[in-house]
Amino acid sequence: MDTSEFVIGQRWVSHSDTGLGLGIVTDISGRRVTLGFPAADEERTYAIDNAPLSRIIYQLGEEIETFDGERYTVRAVEDRGGVLLYHGDDGTDLHEISEVKLAGSVNFSAPHQRLFAGQFDRNGAFRLRFATLQHMNRLRASSAQGLIGARTQHLPHQIYIAHEVARRHAPRVLLADEVGLGKTIEAGLILHYQLHTGRAKRALIVVPDSLTHQWLVEMLRRFNLRFSIVDQGRYDALKEQESDVDALVNHIFGDEDAVNPFESEQLVLCSLDFLKKSQKAQDDALKAHWDLMIVDEAHHLAWSPEEVSPEYRIVEELSAVSRGLLLLTATPEQVGIASHFARLRLLDPARFHDLETFRREEQQYEAINSVVRRLQDESSDISEGDQKLLREWLGEELDQLFAGDNPRQSVIDALLDRHGTGRVLFRNTRAAIQGFPERRPDPEPLPCPAMYEGQASGIQGLTPEQLVPEEQWLADDPRVEWLEKKLIGLRPAKVVVICASAQTAMALEHYLQLRAGIRSAAFHEHLSLIERDRAAAYFADTEQGAQALICSEIGSEGRNFQFAHHLVLFDLPANPDLLEQRIGRLDRIGQTEAIDIHVPYLSGTSQEVQFRWFHEGLNAFAESCAVGVAVQEALQAQWQQAIDGDLDVADGLVEASADEATRLKTLLQAGRDALIELNSCRPEVAEDLIAAIEDEESEARVRDYMMEAFDILGVDVEDHADHSDILRPGEQYQAGHVAELPEDGITVTWDRQNALEREDLAFMSWEHPMVTGVMDSVTSSGLGKAALASLSVKALPPGTLLMEALFTVHCPAPEALQLTRYLPVSPLRLLVDVNGKELSGALPHDRLNEMCSNIRRRTAQAIVPQIRPQVETMVDHVERLSEPHLEPLKSQALEQLEASFGPEIRRLEALQKVNPAIREEEIDFFRDQFEAAKEAIGHASLALEGIRVIVTA
């Protein structure tokens, strides 16, 4: 490099320290050149003959930035005495910008410019970039997108509902599965899908106060969604943080609501009880705009045409400012038609505006239900009366459907589309979903000790131990001794023990551990999330783990222990639904054995009355009871009298309850809507989705990719156990490169079944924030954009140059359009020599990787200036060769877009004429998305994403 190459005012970049930014030549003296680096506020002097510097020349079409922050697109470049003058376009006019005025920061987007500036990487980084693009391309085009990342079993009804609802624009639906079928998981899957695909960004979950923590844990553990709880404590903390000056300014300018906790977070969880008590919280929640709101226990929102409860009014107002709405509720048959209508009003007040009109519509569906059941039964004939009724619903289309390949199923599908609430109501039943275990009650009557005299009746009699000193009841309550003997007798079987309060759970765990020598763990609401995870993991460990897990009522919510087959109910709840929640910790789909439910109770007390009522009146231990609360409400006075100690009433209560339960179950069965049940899970669709998910989540594939990334990014990996590893930041790790990686490390598993059994392990899937974060980090940074490698091949003379180039489709568009479904990144690989000969077919990427080796950095820095002209020529070659690949991709994308949107829009337009549940807003949304997507695809281009220059040795 001679003196004439340097001119004062020129811009150069340092190979040895790229963090200095863009340097400017300030002095040339003899054999030395001095550069100032404004971005780093430093000055460096180099020997001219071996300065580690590269000349920076921006190419046409690249973006430059001045010291003033103005940005221009380069349209022409002039050399004026060695200093460059750029002609830049700011979108309005052309401007002349001397390179002297360029900003000191440098971040080259063009791969070849990074190479020339010395910002190149080793081979591994280039391989990682190509692998990342390939994985992103496959995942974004997959039908399983958005459904891969949840820590859940692949249950067909849950996957079907999630996929069916989550694909919609601003879904507004009622999730009304029977207890134990996983409505919370369905809601979480829908929310995760909408967030992952960009259809939603802000979500609000409103729940009863007692379920706040359960939802927080479920969303974090199952879906990696970090919700923030907004409660009175949050408001008090904000008030304390506000300075006197802030308060004065807010008061002067009339801005009393300067800080809105509901707007400060994207994912917010709060209790309905808190909103009811705080008008300010209501106002703040209404001011924030939500993409999706989820309301749990929605059947408790009281409404009638004459009177609207405060809770219902709050949810009604919030639903009006939320685009999407998921209501989790009991089944329609349980709550009655008026209460069911009240839920539907929240979803679509324009469609469901009059209760009597709705009653008449529902009666019409009853007639078609029997026809649908005959259509399902291949052995049943379709009578003329049936055909007449079907023709009233389907018109002339009926003849076309009967003429098809599968006429019965085609008719059912057409009826599903026309069903008034079929699109907004999803309801699966335990009878329709197979896989639940047998439940075997094992009662144990015990004598009531004298210490409970006067305290053994009424609601307090269900938990009398809370009224006496701990040491006394641990010593004298016969249930404690019985529990100790039962656990010893069941060894080594795992046993879940549930009691009403955390204090009782802690006392029992302490007693069993220290006095009885039984390995046990406590699990209650006073433990932190980490402590709960440890307790659950200790219980799950089959070798050195606890035999018993002692849970409080609240502490057990949201956790499933289906690997255990014994449940001890140390006390009984007053509410039948609470009993079902307890049993539901073990009674899950996937439970492999029958469940033994051990129930110790004190004879002659309210505990015995409650046991008999549950067992003989409701049969609630042996099978799930959907009518328990309704029976309790119908016989409330009689139940209260028996619980309060009138044992003479107990026999009559049990008999009356059994009769009422039978009557209500018969009504439930008769009122079941066959169309809604069919629409709530189409097994063939669900099985295809599950197959796609399982294909995508190959454990080896995601682990292999992340191991390659960890090696490049400086993350240390320690083998932990089967399917699991410990990840820690290594010596070469740069903070922030890997999302969700704490300083002290994290233990992860790559296997879904292991993740279901060990909630203390992070579940690594393609949609885990750490994995998506690594992929985003690779593609958004310069990592692997430029690389230099050597290749030894006898057929090629030394010094021969090859360029491996990666192109991707660049299509700027809002994330919510989900254009990657039709036009994925589609990585294109080309391999050329200096003459422009395309060689990618002869040398595939994997084969080339095996043959290439790294070049020492000092050697590479010396080579780059020498080969710059050939590299620029090869860049021209690959850009020319890439051009013919774009139009076929765009044409294919437009065809897929039309195939997806066209039939759906036409279907909705036709159905709207016969099914008012289809909103005009929904059709308009699809039309607008279709047009916007077509326009965006029309402007798509191919972008050079990375190059690897290969020098033969």
pTM of the model: 0.79
Look at residue 874 in the predicted model and tell me its pLDDT. Answer: 96
Higher pLDDT, 418 or 887: 887
pLDDT at 646 over 90: no
706: nearest Cα among 674, 644, 749, 647: 749
Residue-wise DSSP of 475-538:
HH-HHHHHHHHHHHHHTTS-EEEE-S-HHHHHHHHHIIIIIS---EEEE-TTS-HHHHHHHHHH
Helices (H) and strands (E) in the chain, counts: 34, 31
Are residue 381 and residue 329 in the same domain, yes or no? no
Question: 800 and 936 share a domain?
Answer: yes
Write out pLDDT tens, residues 367-382. 777 788 788 777 777 7
Q: Confidence class of residue 248 from pLDDT cuts 50, 70 and 90?
A: low
pLDDT-derived band at 448 (thresholds 50, 70, 90) equals very high
Alpha carbon of residue 431 to chain centroid: 29
Tell me the pLDDT tens digit for each residue of 282-291: 999 999 989 9
Query: Which of 131, 118, 164 is CA-nearest to residue 18?
Result: 118
pLDDT of residue 915: 63
> Percentage of the chain surpassing pLDDT 70?
94
Looking at 91, 107, 123, which one is the last position of a domain? 107
Lowest mean pLDDT among 95-104, 389-398, 446-455, 700-709: 389-398
Does one domain contain both 340 and 367? Answer: no
Question: CA separation (Å) from 747 to 101, 222, 760, 788, 937?
Answer: 50, 16, 8, 35, 42
Classify the phi-psi angles of 151: left when phi > 0, otherwise alpha if psi is within -120 to 50, otherwise beta: beta
- Alpha helices by DSSP H, listed for 807-856, are 845-851
Which residue from 607, 606, 613 is spatially nearest to 651, judged by alpha carbons? 613
Residue range 815-846, pLDDT digits in tens: 778 787 788 888 999 999 999 999 999 899 99
Query: Beta 762-763 vs 786-791: how paired, if at all?
Result: unpaired
- Token couple for 900: 């997806």
Tokens of 62: 């690249």
Same-domain check for residues 749 and 799 = no
User: Per the domain annotation, does 929 fall within a domain?
Assistant: yes
If phi > 0 it is left, if psi is from -120 to 50 it is alpha, else beta; for residue 899 that is: alpha
Same domain, 794 and 889: yes
Say if residue 194 is in the same domain as residue 67: no
Checking if the pLDDT of 16 tops 90, the result is: no
- For position 421, what pLDDT does the model report? 64
Q: Count of residues for the chain?
A: 953
pLDDT at 57: 86
Greatest extent of the chain over all pairs of C-alpha atoms, in Å: 114
For residue 830, tell me if it sits in a domain: yes
Q: Looking at the domain assignment, is residue 374 inside a domain?
A: yes
Sign of CA dihedral 907, 908, 909, 915: positive
268-294 burial: b if 16+ Cβ within 10 Å, else e: bbbbbebbbebeebbebbbebebbbbb
Pairing state between β 715-721 and 724-729: antiparallel
CA distance 750 to 726: 11
SS3 at position 436: coil
pLDDT on residue 107: 65
Q: Which of 290, 315, 348 is the last residue of a domain?
A: 348
Identify the pLDDT of residue 537.
85
In a domain, 124, yes or no: no
- Segment 542-557 shows an average pLDDT of 83
Higher pLDDT, 672 or 142: 142
Higher-confidence residue of 919 and 757: namely 757
Q: What is the mean pLDDT of residues 167-196?
A: 90
Same-domain status, 757 and 800: no
Domain that holds residue 757: 698-765
Q: Is residue 66 part of a domain?
A: yes
Q: What is the mean pLDDT of the chain?
A: 87
For residue range 283-323, list pLDDT tens digits in order: 999 999 899 999 998 988 888 888 899 999 999 999 999 99
- With a pLDDT cut of 90, the percent of the chain lying above it is 49
For 533, residues 6+ apart whose C-beta sits below 8 A from its C-beta are 759, 760
Report the pLDDT value the prediction gives residue 557, as an integer from 0 to 100: 58
Q: Would you say residue 92 lies in a domain? A: yes
Residues 833 and 947 in one domain: yes
641 within some domain: no
Answer yes or no: is 96 within a domain: yes
Q: Give residue 895's identity as a one-letter amino acid code.
A: E
pLDDT of residue 405: 77
The answer to whether residues 757 and 806 belong to one domain is no
Number of domain units in the chain: 6
Q: Is the pLDDT of residue 247 over 80?
A: no
C-alpha 500: how far from its chain's center?
Answer: 32
Average pLDDT over residues 726-750: 89
- Return the structure tokens found at 489: 């007798």
Q: What pLDDT is recorded for position 2? A: 43
Query: CB–CB of 345/334 below 8 Å?
Result: no
Q: In which band, very low, low, confident or very high, does the pLDDT at 914 lie, cut at 50, 70 and 90?
A: low
Which range, 243-252, 343-352, 741-750, is most confident?
A: 741-750
659-672 confidence digits (pLDDT tens): 999 998 887 766 55
Flag the least confident range among 248-257, 718-727, 896-905: 248-257
Q: Pick the range with the lowest mean pLDDT from 251-265, 762-776, 794-808.
A: 251-265
- For residue 3, name the pLDDT band (cuts at 50, 70, 90): very low
Q: How far apart are CA 879 and CA 282, in angstroms?
A: 57
Q: How many CA atoms lie within 13 A of 586 on its CB side?
A: 30
Cα 306 to chain centroid, rounded: 40
Kindly state whether residues 739 and 881 are assigned to the same domain: no
